Amino acid sequence: MYAANFWDAPQAAAKTSAEAARLQKELDRGENLKIELNDLGELGELALTEKDTDELAEVTDGLIKLTEQAESLTAQTLLSGEYDDEDAIVEIHPGAGGTDSADWAEMLYRMYYRFCEQRGWKVELIELTPDDIAGIKSATLAVRGELVYGYLKSEIGVHRLVRLSPFDSSHKRHTSFAALYAYPDLSSDIEVEIVPADLRIDVFRASGHGGQSVNTTDSAVRITHKPTGIVVSCQNERSQHANKNIAMKVLKSRLADLYRRQREEELAKSKADKSHIGFGAQIRNYVLHPYQLVKDARTAQETGNIQAVLDGDLDQFIEAYLRWSHKQ
């Protein structure tokens, strides 16, 4: 950063500066943990000398909290993948299970939206298509912030819900599936050539809740990239022009991610993973009946506080995945 020509390439320089700031923050967190540990050690020695049970209890509570912070920081240091510090495009789709799965997909959408907000990330809704009865057919989000893709990549896959169905008149137990896909937003980092002749652009009237003119004009845009079959849509903005620009950005990110995975010879596996959203494919199970439990199928991390998870408390699962993935 002290090089004389550092700012000759402003975009690359800004990215490097942001990375330096992030690393400095990580180092500062580590130093603060050391200071807190030393303070607790001195307090503990004093409490033992004076046989002060109240202070010993305070030290114990402090060590528990310090351990949690240290584990969180340790997990963050594992985010060293090539694209972990990138922003992300997130898609959510229902799978097997009919209306229950569409409703489950909407629950996942709310869960991840809240998770992102709790981390202080900026979330932009690109597309949200309601299902005919309840829930959603799809949702697409652009998420920006610190290490966004690094964290969200652990959530890629099928999520399984077991509950008493609110859509079954006999109130029987149903199993539903929905999936989350995340792509690093590489639209500004990788040159992707898009030939206009390869695109089919459709305009249509937006569905669901919207502004005064959103649902009354053909402002929504759907773009199909014919060579790859990738389809993206945007209906969140009032104007067709704005929706088209956002859809093109998402398409560029999707294509960049596709080409990246081709280079890594993982495209075939990725398509296989994405083709089936049903039994046996889930990465995590959410059980609301006959008991309450969320359990990750990969790491065995679990909690009975399912409501907290559905409200966006996902840190324990993501950190467990990062440690598990590092060991693998």
Number of domains within the chain: 3
The predicted structure's pLDDT at residue 75: 80
Does residue 176 form part of some domain? yes
Q: Which residues contact 198 (CB under 8 A, 6 or more apart)?
A: 225, 226, 227
Q: Choose one of 236, 263, 290: the last residue of a domain.
A: 263
Q: Is residue 189 part of a domain?
A: no
pLDDT by residue for the chain (328 residues), tens digit each? 999 999 998 888 988 898 898 889 889 989 999 999 999 999 999 999 998 899 999 999 999 999 988 888 888 888 878 788 889 999 999 997 789 999 999 999 999 999 999 999 999 998 999 998 999 999 999 999 989 999 999 999 999 999 999 988 888 899 999 999 998 887 666 667 788 899 999 998 876 554 444 455 678 999 999 999 999 999 888 888 889 989 988 898 888 888 777 766 543 454 445 556 666 679 999 999 999 999 999 999 999 999 999 999 999 999 999 999 888 8
- 71 and 96 both lie in a single domain: no
User: Is position 269 within any domain?
Assistant: no
In terms of domains, do 294 and 222 share one? no
Say if residue 97 is in the same domain as residue 165. yes
CATH code of the domain covering residue 126: 3.30.70.1660
- Residues contacting 322, CB < 8 A, separation 6+: 75, 78, 79, 154
Residues 69 and 139 in one domain: no
CATH of the domain at 203: 3.30.160.20
Q: Tell me, yes or no, whether 164 and 304 share the same domain.
A: yes
In which domain, by residue range, is 62 found? Answer: 6-77
In a domain, 203, yes or no: yes
Tell me the residue type at 209. H
Cis peptide before 290 (omega within 30 of 0): yes
Same domain as 96, residue 72: no
82 within a domain of the structure (yes/no): no
Pair 66, 167 in one domain: no
Residue 171 inside a domain? The answer is: yes
Same domain, 280 and 180: yes
User: For helices 53-77 and 315-327, what crossing angle results, to 10°?
Assistant: 60
For residue 168, being part of any structural domain is answered with: yes
Pick the last residue of a domain from 45, 77, 109: 77
pTM: 0.70
The four Cα atoms 316, 318, 319, 321 give a dihedral, to 10 degrees, of: 120
Q: Which residue has the tokens 């704005």?
A: 242
The 10 Å CB-count burial string (b at 16+, else e) for 183-208 is bbbbbeeeebeeeeeeeeeeeeebee
Domain end among 77, 105, 129? 77
Residues 92 and 177 in one domain: yes
Claim to verify: residue 145 and residue 232 sit in the same structural domain: no
What local confidence, expressed as pLDDT, does residue 258 receive? 82
Query: Do 139 and 281 sit in the same domain of this protein?
Result: yes
d(CA 282, CA 290): 19
| 206 and 258, same domain (yes or no) | yes
190: in domain: no
